[in-house]
Chains A and B, each alone.
Chain A
């Protein structure tokens, strides 16, 4: 396969710039669409090679299309990430300083919980301890909505989690900032927020919910892959891919 960048690659990149993140199924459809549109050969299982070509040209611009898993449904996603900024200052063209402070506080809350979720009440309370210009309750609520629609946070029943896009894009930052708190999934080795934890105190490994589902599928008695203790949590079903995608 040619290593040259063609119009099909350029179109794919343009669509990624608009969307920010797409799931694997969308990426495959997009790949096919771009190849057909520009009459180039479409090899269905060569999506990653196709993206590698784009990445080789993006690298000097400190940009990259990076792959990561959704903690929510276990699907693979592709996100266009900017590597020029390594922390939340990358968001400063769209958010004011005090809004970024609140986002950092939300991240702190999420990282420090066991289940990777922060309730809106906790976030509103943390707004009281801000050092920059304080946000009113209504302003904080409005900001949280914006962070969700800009795909930095996800929300479900009043609880906030870091979005897939946020985790893919900010993983290096999170790993350095929260070295002591952050744990990686025992199965896939990516950082884990929403997960199950081994209850044996000397073990305490984490496994993402979708990784739990896949790992224990079809096993009669679930045992911790690290310490072999009984795994006491409810084993979620393996989700069928291409169902309603959540970011």
Chain B
């Protein structure tokens, strides 16, 4: 399914940036130069602007997030300030507050800061999180189906698995990471790059392995968006087994449902 394209000029430069790791250090410097303005600074900034100007800037910020969200790419505060907020940086907290309100009231989305150190934001679907994403209520998207299988394997194996376990599981489902798949294209790239950039998965090198071996964990977005209880329910249906029979997983799935560190960004 194609995604909407919208808003362009403001983010074409950031879009082309593939974030090679060498650039990250420099970008963090950019962020360091941005200091959160104080309440009184914001107040003074707002007095100099017309409501229409503030609305316009808020709309640009909203569209920027929506474009990134289509590809599920997290937004860095530094990029947002540099490419969109620009000369309005002195009222940044007010603009983010208004954008959050719009996401909430109009789009049913929640703006969440997933990393307080690098100031990384993602949009979470508020209409789904109540029950969590699952293959049962979103069967239309095959990529999500594949992701769900991988998350299930990781969860059932206690939160971390070596990559060959994932590849073997996928092969059993006739999805071979070594071959080009009709629906997913380059499967290995989808899993180790796209899902990782979207923060659904973490793909990390196991220390002291030579040649390098990798393992998978759940990513931050998965922690927030995906319901572990739903996964157990799914596994139960698959294996015709009572979800409660997986004692440890059942306990984890049903202990404090929102055990995420993510905080709402409405005040940032």
Contact = CB atoms under 8 A, between A and B. Distances in A.
Chain A interface extent, by class? 20 to 34
Given A11-B127, A13-B106, A82-B7, A61 B2 contact: no
B108 A20 contact: no
A17 B29 CA distance: 34
A220 interface: no
A82 B1 contact: no
B12 A93 contact: yes
A196 B9 CA distance: 38
Interface string B1-44: 11111111101100100000000000000000000000000000
Contacts, number: 84
Contact of B1 (A14, A19, A63, A93): A19
Interface string B34-63: 000000000000000000000100111011
A7 B67 contact: no
B53 to A, nearest CB: 13
Residue of B7, B60, B62 with highest tally of chain A CB at under 10 A? B7
Interface in A192-238: none
B59 A84 contact: yes
A77 B109 CA distance: 25
A13 B104 CA distance: 13
Contact of B63 (A14, A19, A82, A149): A82
Contacts of B102: 60-61
A14 B6 contact: no
Dominant secondary structure of chain B at its interface with chain A: helix
Given A89-B8, A90-B8, A92-B9, A13 B108 contact: yes
Contacts of A90: 5-8
Contacts of B60: 84
Contact of A14 (B3, B55, B59, B108): B108
B265 interface: no
Interface string A47-86: 0000000000110111100000000000000001010110
Interface in B185-227: none
B246 interface: no
Nearest to B62: A61
Contacts of B70: 17
Nearest to A82: B6
A42 interface: no
B125 to A, nearest CB: 7
B63 A13 contact: no
A94 interface: yes
Nearest to B137: A37
Contacts of A61: 59, 62-63, 102, 106
B154 interface: no
Nearest to B69: A17
A57 B105 contact: yes
B108 A84 contact: no
A187 interface: no
A60 B62 CA distance: 10
B127 A10 contact: yes
B6 A85 contact: yes
A183 interface: no
Nearest to B55: A60
Interface string B52-84: 000100111011001100100000000000000
A14 B107 CA distance: 7
A149 B70 CA distance: 16
Contacts of A5: 105-106
A92 B8 contact: yes
Nearest to A4: B105
Contact of A85 (B7, B66, B108, B127): B7
Interface in B103-159: 105-109, 125-127
A212 to B, nearest CB: 30
Nearest to A37: B127
A15 to B, nearest CB: 10
A91 B3 contact: no
A149 B2 CA distance: 7
A151 interface: yes
Given A7-B108, A13-B107, A93-B5, 20 more contacts: A10-B108, A10-B127, A13-B106, A14-B109, A17-B4, A18-B1, A19-B1, A20-B4, A60-B59, A61-B63, A82-B6, A84-B6, A85-B7, A85-B9, A89-B8, A89-B9, A91-B8, A93-B8, A93-B12, A151-B2
Closest 6 CB pairs of A and B: A10-B108, A92-B8, A82-B6, A57-B106, A150-B2, A61-B59
